[in-house]
Structure 1
Amino acid sequence: MRLLLRCDAGPSTGVGHAVRCAAVAEAALLSGHEVFWSGRLDGLDWLWAGLTPSPGRGDGPPGTVLAPADSADELVALARAHRIDAVHVDHYLLGPDLLPALAGAGVVLSTVEDFTTGRRPGDVVVDPNLGAGDHSRPDDGSGLLLRGPAYAPLRASARRARDRRATRVAGDGAPRVLVVMGGTDAAGLLPRVVAALAAAGVPAEVDVVVPAGARESLVLPGAGPVRFRAVPPVPDLPAAMVDADLVVSAAGTTVWELCCVGVPMALVRAADNQAEGYRTVVAAGAAAGLGGTGDLAVPDGAAAVLRDLLTDPAARGALAARAARVVDGAGAGRVVDAVAAAAGAAAGRERPAGELRARPARTGDAGLLLAWRNDPDTRRWSRSHGEVAPDDHRRWLAASLDRDDRLLLVVADDRGPVGTVRWDRDPDGWEVSVTVAPERRGERLAVPLLRAGEAALRARTGAGTPVTAVVHGANDASAHLFARAGYADDGRGPDADGFRTLHRTL
């Protein structure tokens, strides 16, 4: 699939639309799709730097950057010129005429709305807000509705941070606080939040993320029990959340990353379109509410809420536990899968071109699997380097197919077999082994092969399944594969044979 992402970022619009599109771009690239961008995306080097790398990418967005399209006609022209299969629009100001215009060009429209804000008809409609499914939506000819935090498009770094947060041990010193009012602080809330934290009067170590345009105007208090430090926008914000005891945030896109990581948060309603999302998250007990811009004009009310949180670790823990249950971090992949399926159907195909299909292995696969297992490159990076005899392999395969703690898959596309994925249950979850068919190497199929295997395991075990990969330190190709797929080192280093263990949660 050739996917075009349409969004803008800037002082008036903020950067949330671009952050959500960046997560969709990551998921699309990891599934083997091509990504194109249309929009005004200057000043986002910090965002691109934090994404999972893709081969050949420079300092800009992952994919190909095209001119901004500000109307249905301009979007159709871009789609036709670049043979686009689907357009994903995360932009409030484009009109409701996109669906018929793109349909006439044979292009699928995926569109993002936040309750009623940005609403337009689409082949795929995404509303990632908590409680979105509880609101009626007019029948406007839209196709598939993806509503709720299960479809919140989050960067791979949020899932990695979630795993790290789960093993974090809180310190004994003053609480660590992270303040982030979005990539631009369009509402000018940083001074008011800083004033409320200072008025709380509780010892705390506070990092304030200050966008470039606010650095000269923000003055941090230099005395008192709260110690403030200004930091620039960070490429991997979810990683910065891991060690925070509390995050004070605007109630925008960052909320879903905070939920995924499982961090206690206090939210500020920074814009009118955040009102419903703010209300539902606070009502669910997943965040404390500090009110809107007017409520912070006098810091006393917000200071009282912050004081209670900073002095009550149990209250912070309860917020974090409820938040972590809201979002699992796999929303971007679900959105991409839905758009790819819609694009395939629109083109009259049963599935998108190049999509991989995983099925359980059968006894008739013995010869194929043995040839892949005995390939010299496969044996080179295995714990056992010797060739396997045919009779031994047939016995192994027969035993594997009868095991409940092993899932052995053969993965293929329209051209034939692509490789195999094997899952073995262990105390840490399920360990994966991936083999690309020797004759299909060089086609950039490793990540889609792994993703097909992950989808098959998820269908069997459900979301939230912990998985591991064991990779030799000298095997750069496998290390790159699992890094792109969001697997993180457990920090224990290589074992005596040079193998490292990587972790991820499906």
Structure 2
Amino acid sequence: MVGDINTAIAARILSAAGVSEINSIPLTVPELSQFAAQWGADVVHIDSYSEMNNLRESLNKTGVLLSSIEDGTFGRRSADIVIDVSPGSERKYREPAGSRSHLRGVEYLPLRQEVLKHRGRGEVAPRVRRVMVALGGTDSADLTHELAELWAKTGVESECYLLGVTIPPELILRFNHVRWFSLDRAPDIARTFAQMDLVICASGTALWELAYLGVPMATLQIIDNQAEYFRFSSERGIGLPLGDISEGARHEEVLNRAVPALRSFASSRVQRAESMKAGQTLVDGGGADRIVGEWRRLVHAKKVDAVQVRSARAGDASHLYAWRTDPLAVEMSRTSGEIGWDAHVDWLERSLADSSRHLLLVEDPEGLAGTIRFDEIAFREWEVSITLAPERRGQGLAVPVLHASEQWLLKEVGEGITLRADFRAVNVASQNVFQRAGYEMLVDFQANPGWRTSGKFL
């Protein structure tokens, strides 16, 4: 590992994970590339807001792929694998910039092993007995005590655990229906989370750990950069949204209004169960495996001198949009009108959910080559359309891309199918491609002026 460890808790987490050697010397781009090559790395994974210009180019020269974590525009750089696990990122455009893979959305959220081993809660407690207030970080605004008082005002007899702060004597004196406890921050805090009936928390990274564990929670936005997380979790029913207290003047108003809502949430087993289910459905704990699986897939693809095919996914939205809106692709498509980004994302979501459509991405050792779409238009009959990435045109890829995609479809639906391709009569390039791929012109389908149809039986 190369990097800087600035907090004691981070050092303890790494130590618990078995990471004993950390190179904390700042490395230049050439030095990091040399370091990776020296250790025989296949992939360098970076999570840093530092620019590190030309890192991908430098690594690729030594045969190493760059995987990069970003959070919106923060930490953005050119990379082979671009990862953004922020909520809703799969619906935001991200310039492809030559990248091979975009992994975007909460499904790629990596969780610590300490968290993964404590999932297992099947149902919520009949009543709330143990509550934790956990704001993460250092709670520089001293909000933990305010939220502890918020909980106490619900009047629920319970135990309340405050993370990382001491218990003020006045809290004990004023609210004697609550038994108060103070907890230190520790790498194994997930085990304590899992024992709670309710956690009051900020809309930070702990929110996703609690969602995975199945712990009912009440969430707040306490700083401006939590707005997206708070909105996303609120819309999906992950926890009870108590409000935005990132503006100090609104604290009292928001927290007073939150008391009856929190009391109702604590008393409703049904509401807490629905919240738990929503969280565990969204955060399934497979994020790290998906990322590592993509590393392995691309390392293998780089070493295999052949065209390879995979199903499209939500994170491919930006690549597909760039290809669909390329001027030549628009000119040759059925619909020549402007395609908006939101409409495109909605189309992709429908396509991925449609069992009668197979949307594929095709790549070779040099990177992404384009996309193929198969639409079932009749029993055992499929319409095929092909779009090459603009930068890959003229490289003789169209026929290999078609053949590889056809083989993928045969494995999916079996032999004995008819393929049909429609293209504009002026699109001589497509006509030649389909002809070289074994398609024959179908005279019976020439009724549509300006269009031609070719077919093939597999």
TM-score by length of 1: 0.53
- What amino acid is aligned across from residue 150 of structure 2 in structure 1? A
**Percent identity of the aligned residues?**
30
After superposing the two structures, state which structure 1 stretch, 324-333 or 67-76, moved more.
67-76
Which residue identity is paired with 1:112? I
CA gap of 1:67–1:262, structure 2 versus 1, over 3 A, is same
> Which residue number corresponds to residue 172 of structure 2?
222
The root-mean-square deviation of aligned C-alpha atoms, in Å, is: 3.0
Alignment of 1:186-225 (within 5 A): 188-210=142-164, 215=165, 221-223=171-173, 224=175, 225=177
SS at match of 2:237: coil
CA contact (8 A) 1:113 1:119 kept: yes
Q: Is the 8 A contact 1:130 1:280 kept in 2?
A: yes
For residue 125 of structure 2, what is the aligned residue in structure 1?
A: 170
One-letter amino acid of the structure 1 residue matched with residue 5 of structure 2: R
SS at match of 2:251: coil
Amino acid in structure 1 at the alignment position of 2:171? P
Deviation for aligned residue 1:329: 0.6
Structure with the greater relative contact order (CA < 8 A, sep ≥ 6): 1 or 2? 1
CA contact (8 A) 1:247 1:266 kept: yes
1:327 alignment partner in structure 2: 283
User: Structure 1 pair 233/101, CA: closer, same or farther in 2 (3 Å)?
Assistant: same
Q: Spell out, residue by residue over 1:23-54, the C-alpha distance to the aligned partner (whole angstroms, 9 max, x if none).
A: xxxxxxxxxxxxx3422254125424654xxx
Mapping of residues 57-72 of structure 1, within 5 Å: 57=18, 62=19, 64-69=21-26, 72=29
For the structure 1 residues 216 and 262, does the alpha-carbon distance in structure 2 shift closer, same or farther, using more than 3 Å as the test?
A: closer
- Structure 1 residues 322, 169: closer, same or farther in 2, change over 3 A? closer
In structure 2, the residue corresponding to 1:277 is in which secondary structure?
Answer: helix
SS of the residue 1:200 aligns to: coil
- Post-superposition Cα deviations, 1:252-275, rounded to whole Å, max 9, x if no partner, equal 222221121112112222443332
2:186 aligned partner: 234
Shift of 1:283: 0.7
What displacement does 1:123 show? 1.0
2:267 is the alignment partner of 1:311: yes
**Deviation (angstroms), 1:250:** 2.2
How far did 1:240 drift? 1.7
Q: How much does 1:186 deviate?
A: 5.2
Q: Which is worse superposed, 133-142 or 90-99?
A: 90-99
Is the CA contact 1:115–1:276 (under 8 Å) kept in the aligned structure 2? Answer: no
3-state SS of 2:44 partner: strand
Question: Unaligned stretches of 5+ in structure 2?
Answer: 307-458
Q: How many angstroms apart in 1 are the aligned matches of 2:134 and 2:282? A: 20
- Name the structure 1 match of 2:83: 126
The one of 250, 259, 262 aligned to 2:202:
250
Work out which of the residue numbers 105, 117, 120 in structure 1 matches 2:74. 117
Tell me how many residue pairs correspond in the alignment.
299
Of 115-124 and 222-231, the range deviating more from structure 2: 115-124
Confirm or deny: 8 A CA contact 2:81 2:102 kept in the other structure.
yes
For structure 1, the residue ranges without an aligned partner over 5 or more in a row are 1-35, 52-56, 352-506
Larger radius of gyration: 2
- The CA deviation at 1:232 is 0.6
In the alignment, residue 109 of structure 1 is paired with which amino acid? L
CA-to-aligned-CA distance 1:56-88 (integer Å, 9 cap, x gap): x4xxxx263112536545533543454433221
Deviations, residues 92-143 of structure 1 (Å, cap 9, x unaligned):
3445643233333432211112333333332111222332212222232222
Distance 2:223 2:54 in 1: 26
Match of 1:39? 4
Once the 2 structures are TM-superposed, how far is the Cα of residue 300 of structure 1 from its aligned partner? 1.5
Query: Which residue of the partner structure matches residue 276 of structure 1?
Result: 228
Aligned-partner Cα distance in 1 for 2:89–2:273: 26
Partner SS, residue 284 of structure 2:
coil
TM, length-normalised to structure 2: 0.58
